[in-house]
Structure 1
Amino acid sequence: MIASTLSSARRQAERRSRQVKSILANEGHRGITDRARTVVADWMRPKGIVWQVKTGDVIAADLSQPFTPIIPKVAPGESITVNWVTGPAGPGSGGHTTCYRIIRYLDRLGYTNRIYFYDLHRADRKYYEDVAREHYGLTNQISDMGDTIADAHAVVATGWPTAYPVFNARCTGKRFYFVQDFEPYFEPVGAQSVLAENTYKMGFHAITAGQWLAKKLKSDYGMEGDYFPFGCDTTRYKRDPGSKRSGVAFYARAGTPRRGVELGLLALEIFAKRQPQIDIHLYGEKLADVPFRAINHGLVSPQQLNTIYNKCFAGLTLSLTNLSLVPYEMLAAGCIPVMNDAEHNRMVMQSDHVRYAETTPHALASALEKIVVDPDYDCLSRKAADSIVSASWDDAGAAVDTAFRRALCVDRDAVR
């Protein structure tokens, strides 16, 4: 028995020794370090689910017995009152940026918008309230989502965890769901992806970012709704006709799997071998050990990003779920987007100036290469920028205003 145990231990030791030698020969000491970090991370990672929603809210939400709220009529001259339930956000959250832009637009129309933070982690509300005001420009009432929230004409969930407290709330107001992406795709198939999907069965009225989500929620879940078009801040993103272009850009934020960062890096590795003279600009976060020459900008401001776009012939932007704002911003700067060819991208990004490619590294690399060698690039760039001049966020806000009015049966003169 002892001899057998020692023999097994010796074989394992020899196996590990050979493995270490192979890693050192092929990847160097960094390969050993990376694997050690992975082992430590696996050891430290929680063994159960890290919940994004309070389990008590899930248990309380019996979808077979939905609460039917009173929906107050909006009297002529009365302000439409909307409760928005969101998670607190630090600076730079794309989803919060879009949501808060819409809220600011509705403020200007005379709506009374209230913000309720739904937070599992007992974060400091004062800090996140200051962020909402200083970085996102909100001037509204901001409160914590407690056991009760005030009566309103409308109550809006803004992400799947917030849908549960909105479903459970007993205040007045028609229930809405501000949907910016198909969130069950954010999680591996499991309990939380199912919980996210279940929120589309709560009977809310959807207001979605782009047409694809509205179509999907209607066809898959029978969910009624409206959609708003994507906008672009053309005061920040614009073409500089005097800029010298010498590169391509890529939003490389590995913490956002739906943006296909690893796939994009493979495409850029192929592209870099074909066009080694072209600069590759990475932004979003600092990436270590990129296997090609790159300018690694990390997190940048909109002003810095516009400068990057104006240095680039093209930008690689991948969306494996709903579209991001990136292709609109690239177009505004005259930087031609290369995107993965998919229904959800084509349906929302209806532009002749986008270059679609199969979702393979070689196809994406080839699409980038065609742009940088195009002899008529200047004309292409100018037409791309001109096409986006009218893409205002006011159009998105107006569409949301119309959606609220239609669902609440409100005439235009009803808001002050």
Structure 2
Amino acid sequence: MTSFAAGLRVLRRQGPGAFARRALELAALRLGEDHGLGLADADVADSANLHLPVPDIRPAEGEPLAIGWVTTPPGPGSGGHTTLFRMVEAAEAAGHRCVLFLADRHDGDPVARERVIRDWWPGVRAEVRSAADGIAGVDAAVASSWETAHVLATRGADAMRRLYFVQDFEPWFHPRGAAYALAEDTYRFGFRTIALGEAVAQALRQEIGIEPDVTSFGCDTDIYRPLPGARREGVVAYVRPGVARRGWELARLALARFHEERPEVPIHLYGDVLTGAARRQLPFEAIQHGRLSPLELNELYAECVAGIAMSFTNISLVAEEMIAAGVVPVVGDSALARADLPGDAAAWARPTPAGIAAALGAALDRPDRDAHALEISATARSGWSRAQHDVVRIIEDEVHGPARHSTRAALR
């Protein structure tokens, strides 16, 4: 669809005000004047003068709640959204009514945004609204990223309880600068904070000085599992160029070195498809699979002995999913990564081309690699029920008030 047609759609559905905002934003992008924060100026909150109301009266314990979840519009298969939507499904299963408030600074087609959610996460029944229309009509709202924390603070002015589901310490996504500072400030907004994993919890304690509730990672072992009769021969890597924390540029160098030493081993890539100059930068043949559904990804894992699962912030979900599928994940060695990936299933590597290539080679050289695949698969964490239970109970505790069965102390 052309930008002209998209603009007409905005004018027809959202009126001249939204049309004008979109036109100005696109013009700024074309002229290089976009400030690059991923956040509109009007949505920037400030912990120094933030005073958000909460309800005077708490609903009775056991009463179903209305829970808002503030999120950016998801792309197909987005891992962070998948984890968030697991929590939404758990809240709905517990009898609560959920609303997704989409923080979309580009004013995308709301019908198309909702269609992605329904197609890729069919278990989510929540109503979908635009956060631009305000965040209201809920007992509690949960921010899911630093940008959405700002949006919740600026657009959620009604009395409600506010929480923050933190999957990563997001200042680390940015160089030291404006975005870093604004991301860091969200942890001072006073929202009740739920950290996914010990690495995030440690960062919040050490960098900000707050004590979050903490829950643990899970893994969908109904999907990620060894497949009978599989022939494991190759290696695999997740491709996200330009997303620094995913380390693709380092993985590319490591795979080039690995290919020089083991040219007979198939190299599989999934995620973004490399084209043009990016494709020409690969000094080796690779099988590009593009974006895969979880079931398709598990089928790919069944062909692989080892895979690169780098992340330079919180541990990637890819590592545990590889383990569940019987693939040895090569992970950059650090204390933070080890905090959330216990056991001996991962290959801990120095995060250099030679270090990663050596770890891939060692996994392929195991004489018992097929048996090892089954052995490590059995160590994977099964399901997300712990995290789902924790998150729902914390939201209920925050809305209803500290109860006899409060999980806050147990989670720390």
Residue from 237, 258, 269 that aligns with 1:250? 237
Name 1:136's counterpart in structure 2.
Answer: 121
- Please give the alpha-carbon distance, in whole angstroms, between the structure 1 residues aligned to 2:298 and 2:62: 42
**1:14-62 Cα deviation digits (max 9, x unpaired):** xxxxxxxxxxxxxxxxxxxxxxxxxxxxx9671441342221122x645
Q: In structure 2, what residue type is equivalent to 1:159?
A: S
Name 2:190's counterpart in structure 1.
Answer: 203
Indicate if the aligned counterparts of 1:232 and 1:328 stay in contact, CA closer than 8 A. yes
Larger radius of gyration: 1
- Please give the alpha-carbon distance, in whole angstroms, between the structure 2 residues aligned to 1:329 and 1:247: 17
- Please give the alpha-carbon distance, in whole angstroms, between the structure 2 residues aligned to 1:358 and 1:397: 34
Indicate if the aligned counterparts of 2:50 and 2:189 stay in contact, CA closer than 8 A. no
In the TM superposition, what is the alpha-carbon distance from 1:281 to its structure 2 partner?
Answer: 0.8
In the TM superposition, 1:133-212 aligns within 5 A as 133-137=118-122, 138-146=124-132, 148-168=134-154, 169-212=156-199
- Please give the alpha-carbon distance, in whole angstroms, between the structure 2 residues aligned to 1:344 and 1:241: 34
Give 3-state SS (helix, strand or coil) of 1:250's partner.
strand
| Structure 1 unaligned spans of 5+ | 1-42
Q: 1:181 to 1:45 in 2, by over 3 A?
A: farther
Give 3-state SS (helix, strand or coil) of 2:84's partner.
helix
- Please give the alpha-carbon distance, in whole angstroms, between the structure 2 residues aligned to 1:372 and 1:300: 24
> TM-score, normalised on structure 2?
0.84
Q: In structure 2, what residue type is equivalent to 1:85?
A: V
**1:382-403 Cα deviation digits (max 9, x unpaired):** 1111112x52022220121232
Indicate if the aligned counterparts of 1:69 and 1:170 stay in contact, CA closer than 8 A. no
| Structure 2 unaligned spans of 5+ | 1-28, 407-412
1:396 correspondence with 2:387: yes
Residue from 85, 88, 91 that aligns with 1:103? 88
Q: In structure 1, what residue type is equivalent to 2:230?
A: S
In the TM superposition, what is the alpha-carbon distance from 1:235 to its structure 2 partner?
Answer: 2.1
Name 1:314's counterpart in structure 2.
Answer: 306
- Identity value in percent: 37
Q: In structure 2, what residue type is equivalent to 1:142?
A: V
Q: 1:106 to 1:410 in 2, by over 3 A?
A: farther
> TM-score, normalised on structure 1?
0.83
- Please give the alpha-carbon distance, in whole angstroms, between the structure 1 residues aligned to 2:107 and 2:219: 34
Give 3-state SS (helix, strand or coil) of 2:289's partner.
strand
Q: 1:76 to 1:204 in 2, by over 3 A?
A: closer
Residue from 49, 68, 71 that aligns with 1:83? 68
Indicate if the aligned counterparts of 1:86 and 1:158 stay in contact, CA closer than 8 A. yes
Q: 1:209 to 1:147 in 2, by over 3 A?
A: same
Give 3-state SS (helix, strand or coil) of 1:155's partner.
strand
Indicate if the aligned counterparts of 2:101 and 2:131 stay in contact, CA closer than 8 A. yes
Indicate if the aligned counterparts of 2:67 and 2:138 stay in contact, CA closer than 8 A. yes
- Please give the alpha-carbon distance, in whole angstroms, between the structure 2 residues aligned to 1:373 and 1:71: 64
Give 3-state SS (helix, strand or coil) of 1:176's partner.
strand
Q: In structure 2, what residue type is equivalent to 1:400?
A: V
Q: In structure 2, what residue type is equivalent to 1:370?
A: A
Q: Count the aligned residue pairs.
A: 370
Residue from 335, 344, 347 that aligns with 1:343? 335
- Please give the alpha-carbon distance, in whole angstroms, between the structure 2 residues aligned to 1:44 and 1:79: 47
Name 1:55's counterpart in structure 2.
Answer: 41
